[in-house]
Every structure is written in C-alpha cells, then in structure tokens.
Structure 1
Amino acid sequence: MPKGSEDWNRLVGRTVELRQDGRLIRAGEVEDAAKDSSVMWLRFDGNHGRQLIAKSDNYEVILRERLGQDG
C-alpha cells in the first residue's frame, strides 16, 4: 500500500505514523475509520489514549511496516 493511502479503511488494525512537513507527529494503531475515510481513530500506547484524526488535518499517513519499524 502506498504511503499516504487515501483509503483509511484498509489501515484498520495497522500501525501508522502521522507526519507533517516531514516531521513525525505521532504513531499509533488505526482503531477504526469512517466508511468514506474522512476520519480515523488512532490509538496510542501509554497515557495518550486515542485521537480522532480528520483527513482535513492534512497529515501524511505512513504505514509503519513500510518503514521496517513495526514489530
């Protein structure tokens, strides 16, 4: 799957990184996504819980496995 996939439903259960201007903002597991891929819930480890991410937030979404860091 190419980085920045437009179909967030295909990322459910996978670990992704959110990047903006090339900087890592957060990484977490995609817990769920809207059918139209307009938003997704990203779950984080520790005390951060989860966060609703909107496509309009303009993050670059990268599948962490593609970076060889999932494990």
Structure 2
Amino acid sequence: MITLQKEDNWDFSKEILDDLLRQGFTGEELEKQFYALKNEIPNCIKAMLYEAQLVAEGKAEFQSYEDVFE
C-alpha cells in the first residue's frame, strides 16, 4: 500500500484556482470546484506512484513526456 506524507510542495492551490478562473468559474461554483479538485490531489499522486511502481516492476509500459502530451 502506498502512503503519502503531507508535503507543503504538494499544494497546488494557485494552479487550481488560476485554471478555474480561466475557465470562467466564479462565486460558489468556483469554491465548489476548487475544493473538489484540491481534494483529489492525494488520489492522483497515489495513482501516479502506483503506475510508476508497475513500470519499475516491468508490469506496465513506460510512457515518455512526448507520449503523454504530444
């Protein structure tokens, strides 16, 4: 089981807020979306760590930055 320690550098509040504002969210809907996304960060990090573990064990295929974002 993968456990996460609380790290200050895992606070993506500014990035989340900037993105939601660019999408046009305001008021209560902005707040609702912000907390929904912020609460998902630990789950997303755990999923990335799990996938990295599978790659390291040869149980999953490695994907480069270019594979993912291009």
| TM-score bracket, shorter-length normalisation | under 0.3
- Normalised to the residue count of structure 1, the TM-score between the two structures is 0.25
Between Structure 1 and Structure 2, the one with more helix by share is: 2
- Normalised to the residue count of structure 2, the TM-score between the two structures is 0.25
Between Structure 1 and Structure 2, the one with more strand by share is: 1
